[in-house]
Homo-oligomer: A and B are copies of this chain.
Amino acid sequence: MLDRQDVIPLYSQLEGIIKNDILSGKYKDGDRIPSESQFMLEYSITRTTIRKAIENLVNQGLLEKIHGKGVFVRLREVKYNMWNFCGFSDYIKRRGEKPVTNVISSEVVTIKDEEFFKLIRARGVKKGEDTEYLTIDTSIIPMSLFKDIHTINFNNNSLYSIMKREYKITPKTAKLTIKAIESNDFTRNYFGDENVYLSAIGEVIDDNGVIVEKVNVIYNSKIEFNMVTDIG
Which residues of A come within 8 Å of B, CB atoms?
Answer: 12, 15-16, 48, 56, 59-60, 66-67, 83, 85-87, 160, 170-182, 195-198, 204, 209, 221, 224-232
Contacts and interface: CB of A to CB of B under 8 A. Distances in A.
Contact of A178 (B173, B174, B181, B225): B225
Contact of A196 (B60, B196, B229, B231): B196
Nearest to A52: B55
A171 B231 contact: yes
17 contacts: A12-B232, A15-B232, A60-B230, A66-B209, A83-B229, A160-B231, A170-B232, A174-B229, A178-B227, A179-B221, A179-B225, A180-B181, A180-B196, A180-B221, A198-B198, A204-B231, A227-B227
Contacts of A173: 228-231
Nearest to A179: B198
B232 A16 contact: yes
Contact of A228 (B15, B66, B174, B221): B174
A184 B173 CA distance: 36
A210 B170 CA distance: 41
Contact of A231 (B172, B225, B227, B230): B172
Nearest to A174: B229
B177 A224 contact: yes
A195 B197 CA distance: 12
A91 to B, nearest CB: 13
A124 to B, nearest CB: 19
A232 B172 contact: yes
Nearest to A206: B231
A53 to B, nearest CB: 11
Contacts of A83: 229
Given A196-B196, A209-B66, A231-B160, A226 B180 contact: no
A16 B48 CA distance: 23
Nearest to A219: B180
A28 B67 CA distance: 37
